[in-house]
Amino acid sequence: MVYISSIGRGIPEYHVSQQEVKQLVSRLFSNKHQRLQRYLSVFDHAKVDARQLVCPTTWYEEEHQFDEANHLYVEHALQLSLEAIDHCLEKISAQNSNLPVFPYEAVDLIVFVSSTGITTPSLDAYIMNERPFREDVTRMPLWGLGCAGGAMGLGRAFEWLKLHKDKTALVICCELCSLTLQLNDTSTSNIVGTALFGDGVAATLLIGEDSEYTKYVSQIALSIQETHSYMKKDTTDVMGWKVGKNGLHVIFSKQIPKLIKSLWKGHVEVFLGRFGLTIKEIDTFIAHPGGRKVLEEMETTCHIPKEKLAYSYDVLRSHGNISSATVIYVLKKWLEDKGDHRLQQPFGLLSALGPGFSSELLLLKWVMR
């Protein structure tokens, strides 16, 4: 058992409405895309009201080379990651006012997840320079996992903590999707992607069951019980990046919602069956909101009541799709749920789909310590 103790976020400066983004795309692509008006309707039906961006909208009106965009990625990723980490550790300390501030030195593993920019050494090395982490902390940078990265980052940290039960882990999911906008890419993927993607960072503190820092874990605690990964072969063209001379071009196949029925449902049923559980016994689905159609297909295919996906819809509406970080935003809402029903309806399923085409699942449970 591993405890999910606290989650902090790094929220970019610029808050932009969906209509503002729609108008921006209309100006940028009106002379480049013959069927633009048809695709602009996607903005009205995406269930996204707003998102946060690291740059003002004027920045996106000009073409930028990859090195310029990536420089901004490193700069903002570091700043927002530090904000998320600080918020995460300060929050756990605030919840336990009788205890000292949770120390950076107590972190034994740092998992850094991202797919929207690159740097070597990986960004966790720069993060360590800015805060008093120990120099012997274990580092696990994960790149290229896309929207599945948040669930996979938690999953790999969970597996590490099962072997090191007296340790702690910090999982950082950092995605600045807006910096990958390509003005000369008139593909449907690029247009549709702008209707969904935003920027943000989330940091999650996990604590092993034998750690001396379990004193920072709430009496009614949210725990990870188990995790499972699945990847469908010959689906590398469904989602990902195509590298062009100006940087990363999004691949976003219309097949994605259909894969819920052919891939996700079976993965969920087999995974839950290992614990004698069914979909009906899951109180909350902490699902990565890849988009409206993905969530609706989950409801239809698996007969999941819409209210069990409420947190996913809330995050999609307020932040858009932030790739790996989005499911952590959803998890944060459930972690902060103080309802009396937690121990009576203890199970949650965290899920995310990503490039590969891959599915990552984590069984969560409220437990009394």
Catalytic machinery residues: 147
Write down the residue that tokens 């599915």 correspond to: 359
d(CA 229, CA 117): 24
Sheet arrangement for strand 109-114: 138-143, 109-114, 168-176, 199-208, 2-10, 220-235, 356-368, 347-354, 284-287
d(CA 238, CA 311): 26
Contact 231, 86 (CB under 8 A): no
| CA geometry: angle 212, 213, 216, nearest 5 deg | 140
The helix (run of H) or strand (run of E) holding residue 170 is strand 168-176
**Maximum Cα interatomic distance, the chain, rounded to a whole number of Å:** 63
Contact 168, 108 (CB under 8 A): yes
Contact 85, 53 (CB under 8 A): no
Contact 29, 191 (CB under 8 A): yes
Q: Is 210 helix (H, G, I), strand (E, B) or coil?
A: coil
Contact 152, 352 (CB under 8 A): yes
Contact 113, 172 (CB under 8 A): yes
Which DSSP letter does residue 247 get? Answer: E
